[in-house]
Amino acid sequence: MVAFIILAVLLVTAGVGVITLRQPVHAALSLVAGILALAAIYVTLEAHFLAAIQVIVYAGAVMVLFLFVIMLLNVGRTRAASLKWLKPAAWVTGALSLAAVVTVVFVVQQPLPEFAVIDAALRGGNADAVGDALFTDHLLSFHLVGVLLLVGIVGAVALVQQTVPARRTRQGVAQQEPQDAPELVAAGEGN
Amino acid sequence: MVQTEYYVALSAILFALGGIGVLTRRSAIMLFLSIELMLNAANLAIIAYARQWSAVGAQHALDGQAAAFIVLAIAAAEVAVGLGILVAIFRNRVSTDVDELSEVRL
């Protein structure tokens, strides 16, 4: 319980940081802290493989992509919202939905099974156990997610790639006129 | 062991924080960060209920963790495509403010 409270406080603090910090880089780093705390919480829930994946995929890959885009776009501070009532309304909506969920959850409380039962059923949630479930009962979902990731990769490349042909023609021009070549290449890299 | 209800309450707190972030922030990148928070909250609830579900039997106890794994993969794909769209928008109009993209309508 003590470990849970410490991790929960860390997680909520990081979550508040994500939505209140002004600089996007600070918010992204706050999300990294929250993701690491969440990985520790997964360990307390007997999901060891998912905890490792959480650190590798989220803190490793996704957040690096986020920081890369934030620094690429160089987004500064944003102006205040045009709708004055939006911010308090958002906080009230969040508080109400939170209260509703917490009430429902604690009204229909269910006893937790014994640790031996959980351990036997989840098998520590390691790669062996999760892989067993993924490659037998959830094989179709696994394949579909693979296709989705492939489509995502192709889509992301297609969205970002558009300037490459233009740069090629510039370099072609640069090869025809060797005197202007350094300037044009530098201009192309500036974009 | 900590009861499942506390984990689900924590998940609800995270989800509400993510929702508040989506409603209040205006930079598209901050919206994506808030959506990541909400996806993580959903994953936490799924994994907490997977542990609770093991009382029913070992047959389908790991279904929740498999589902959380798939949610994680989908979140990664969503971030890749979303940030690609963001870069494409930023190229045309040097801004990621979602209020200034209001003419993108059906």
Domains of chain A by residue range: 1-75+97-126, 138-191
Distance CA A104, CA A101 (A): 5
Hey, of B1, B31, B101, which one would you mutate to test binding to chain A, going by the most A CBs within 10 A of its CB?
A: B1
| Domain range A1-75+97-126, CATH class | mainly alpha
Distance CA A190, CA B5 (A): 53
Distance CA A92, CA B41 (A): 19
Would you state the pLDDT for residue B38? 94
- A123-181 pLDDT tens trace: 877 888 888 888 998 999 999 999 999 999 998 888 887 665 555 555 555 454 444 44
Nearest by CB to B84, which of A1, A44, A156? Answer: A156
A189 pLDDT more than 50: no
Kindly determine whether residue B55 and residue A117, on different chains, have CB atoms separated by under 8 Å.
yes
Distance CA A185, CA A181 (A): 6
More confident: A34 or A113 = A34
Enumerate the residues of chain A whose CB falls inside 8 A of the CB of residue B6. 4, 8
Of all residues in chain B, the one with the smallest CA distance to A43 is: B47
Nearest by CB to B12, which of A102, A121, A134? Answer: A102
Kindly determine whether residue A122 and residue B51, on different chains, have CB atoms separated by under 8 Å.
yes
Q: Lowest-confidence range among A10-14, A144-148, B2-6, B51-55?
A: B51-55
Average pLDDT score over chain B: 86
Kindly determine whether residue A159 and residue B76, on different chains, have CB atoms separated by under 8 Å.
no
- A72-116 pLDDT tens trace: 887 665 565 567 788 888 888 888 888 888 888 888 777 777 777
| pLDDT confidence band for A191 (50 / 70 / 90) | very low
Distance CA B66, CA B53 (A): 13
Would you state the pLDDT for residue A187? 47
Of all residues in chain B, the one with the smallest CA distance to A107 is: B5
Enumerate the residues of chain B whose CB falls inside 8 A of the CB of residue A153. 80
- Is B29 exposed, middle or buried, given 0-12, 13-18 or 19+ CB atoms closer than 10 A? buried
Q: What is the DSSP string of A120-189?
A: HHHGGG-HHHHHHHHHHTTHHHHHHHHHHHHHHHHHHHHHHGGGHHHHHHHHHHHHH-GGGHHHHHHHHH
Hey, of A159, A164, A167, which one would you mutate to test binding to chain B, going by the most B CBs within 10 A of its CB?
A: A159
The token pair at A18 is: 């994500």
- B10-34 pLDDT tens trace: 999 999 999 999 988 888 888 999 9
Domain with residues B4-95, CATH architecture: Orthogonal Bundle (1.10)
Enumerate the residues of chain B whose CB falls inside 8 A of the CB of residue A79. 26, 97
Hey, of A75, A85, A132, A153, which one would you mutate to test binding to chain B, going by the most B CBs within 10 A of its CB?
A: A75
Would you state the pLDDT for residue A81? 59
A184 pLDDT more than 60: no
Kindly determine whether residue A90 and residue B19, on different chains, have CB atoms separated by under 8 Å.
yes
Is the CB of residue A137 less than 8 Å from the CB of residue B66? yes
Tell me the whole-structure pTM to 2 decimals: 0.82
